[in-house]
Amino acid sequence: MNTLVHNLRDAASGTGDLVLIVDDVPDNLAVLHDALDESGYTVLVATTGEQALTRAAQARPDVVLLDAVMPGMDGFEVARRLKADAATAHIPIIFMTGLTDTEHLVAALEAGGVDYVTKPIKPKEVLARMNVHLQGARQARQQARQAGQARNALDAFGYASATVRWPEGRIIWQTALARELLARYCGTQAPETPAPVLDWLRRHLPDAQFRHIEPPPLVIEQGSERLSLRLHQQTGHDDDGDEWLIIMREASDTAVIEAMSLSLGLTPREAEVLYWVVKGKTNRDIGEIIGSSPATAKKHLERVYVKLGVETRTAAAGVAIKRIRELMPGAEI
């Protein structure tokens, strides 16, 4: 994106709305430009279809005001090309036309327009129509930002996520952490979905979709480390299939012990002792694992009792299991 377009985006950041006007008549451009500028919008202009496609690809405007009839590439073709490009397909297009015959209005909508205004242009009408469609665009941007923040937060806390298209079985989106985990544990890269994940989805998606039963997590082991995958929710549906969000997290003895230490207010050694209590180990076993005596393991455990407000091994283990399941869904403990 060139410097000019960066500057336009910066200027538009106050309202977040950048408008592209496409018209081959300079007077029409001038009237609309002045009205939109006075209303706080940042405006780009194009006088030909080719210019419109270039401007849209560079700046990604929030709405396009598009003249239907222009020499060369007309507005209908411009709209079709904008909608055929994934980078610009989401941009609402409002046609400006002097043609009021039903067939022309139908053609405008079939080409991808969401609305139209008739010439001669009335700026107040254009602003009102624009505002309706920009409200939807603003909501979509806000939802995208929130989704991006949520995904970044998931990655920051060690949770990766990916979206699988079903029944096609193709990964259509994933976070950076998901990409790294699937490559390391399964040796695959998007859009390929690992075979164990596909088998898991085939077995459990019918119950999840039609009976609303949450399937058991899928655990893929690699040495002492484990990758746990959980089917989170359906995020999309159309005639071609459904989209399902999968949350995954890498777990290991060390990761669980660290989580227990932080969340329960225990020292690393106390958390380690409690972890092995949860695993059913005796004080003698724990002493051998941590390289100390059974009596030392017992002393650590007694301090754990005090910090957790419990009196027995079973109660301490119950507290630990509950907390880890809250923090690390799908973790085996």
- Quick one: three-class SS letters along 42-87? EEEEECCHHHHHHHHHHHCCCEEEEECCCCCCCHHHHHHHHHHCCC
Provide the pLDDT confidence category of residue 293 given band limits of 50, 70 and 90: very high
| φ, ψ of residue 216 in degrees (nearest 5) | -65, 150
What lies within 8 Å, CB to CB, of 148 at 6+ separation is: none
Residue 140: count of CB within 10 angstroms of its CB? 13
What is the structure's pLDDT at 174? 86
Q: pLDDT above 70 covers what percent of the chain?
A: 85
Give me the amino acid identity at 110: E
Provide the pLDDT confidence category of residue 13 given band limits of 50, 70 and 90: very low
CA–CA dist 270, 273 (Å, integer):
5
CA atoms within 13 A on the CB side of 240: 6
Contact 65, 96 (CB under 8 A): yes
Q: How far apart are the first and last CA of the chain?
A: 50
Give me the amino acid identity at 189: Q
Does the structure show a pLDDT above 50 at 2? no
- Plot region of 25 (φ>0 → left; ψ -120 to 50 → alpha; else → beta): beta
Does the structure show a pLDDT above 70 at 140? no
Give me the amino acid identity at 42: T
Domains of the chain by start residue, with CATH: 3-147 (3.40.50.2300), 157-251 (3.30.450.20), 265-327 (1.10.10.10)
CA–CA dist 32, 45 (Å, integer):
10
Q: What is the CA radius of gyration of the chain?
A: 29
Provide the pLDDT confidence category of residue 177 given band limits of 50, 70 and 90: confident
Does the structure show a pLDDT above 70 at 10? no
Q: 26-60: per-residue pLDDT in tens?
A: 888 888 888 888 888 888 899 999 999 998 988 88
**Dihedral (Cα; 90, 58, 175, 168), 10-degree rounding:** 50
> What's the whole-number average pLDDT of the chain?
83
